[in-house]
Amino acid sequence: MKTVLILKPLRPAGLDLFAARSDLRVVRIDAPTRDDIARHLPDAHAVCIKNTPLPADLLDAAPDLAVVSKHGVGLDNLPMDALTARRIPVAWIGDANAGAVAEHAMLLMLALARRLPQYQARARAGGYIVDPDWPTFDLRGRRLLLVGLGRIGTRVADLARAFGMRVTAFDPAAPDHAGVARAPTLADGLSRADVVSLHAPYTPATDGLIDADALAAMPPGGWVVNTARGELIDEAALIAALDSGHLAGAGLDVLRREPPDPADPLLSHPRVIATPHTAALTEDTAEAMSRLTAQNALNGLDGRLDPALLANPEVLP
């Protein structure tokens, strides 16, 4: 009998797939610690994981580990070099959450453009009509720079174009996408962007990508939206740009520290709209992600992984 280790909860859509198999033992740890992982990983043949760090130094104690199935697309919590060296495939969810994250990026842009928090508070207080201190704007005609033109970035591009935005992308590795201009450099793209939306992975090269110089390169009055990873932004520089008025607003679904400190000045800043890393977690998407995470684990155990859903396809024979 093979063991599946589930780190953090899966929805019934995924658990039911495991329950249908009589040849599996399922171990569920809803709030895993390193000690929990060290205790159970040696018996695991498959691991389903969300954002819990998987320590590389524990892998050697798991001789039968055949697949790691990521409930998501970010890989920064996984020791990819160590897993690939062990020829352990890492499966992810492909496009399952791309539509939800793209819609959330547009939600943040719309909320910034229409000053949603300010006008919700104004309406609840019995206020009426636009406050001159909080002007609102159309998205139509705004210049959007997408930093990253992958599964999510391309969907944001299509949605933004439907709103009449002029879309440019900076992503040297991505193929062209219909209706999207390409910026030769990040600085060039930033210099012509009213709105910057981040859709790049977190790597050492993208850590602090949007720093003081990047923000200064944007025209005054712009907005920054981040539904990717908090580490992409230098948060001190972001606060300074917001405080100075150079940046008109920021929409943030992710922060460097998660869960955040309630005293984080970004959370109380009047020019910031923040959500708690929920862009991908609609009911529809959560069910699909759980189902695909479980199916990827089963496919790994059964030797029929889809190479298109592997982060390290080079490990396959």
Annotated active-site positions, please?
229, 258, 277
Q: Do residues 160 and 141 make contact, with C-beta atoms less than 8 angstroms apart? A: no
One-letter identity of residue 83: L
- The bridge status of strand 24-29 relative to strand 2-7 is parallel
61 vs 64: CA distance, rounded Å: 9
Pairing outcome for strands 166-170 and 67-70: unpaired
- Give CA–CA dist 124/287, Å, rounded: 35
Cα separation, 251 vs 272, in Å, equals 6
Contacts of residue 155, Cβ cutoff 8 Å, sequence gap at least 6: 98, 99, 101, 102
175, burial (CB in 10 Å: exposed 0-12, middle 13-18, buried 19+): exposed
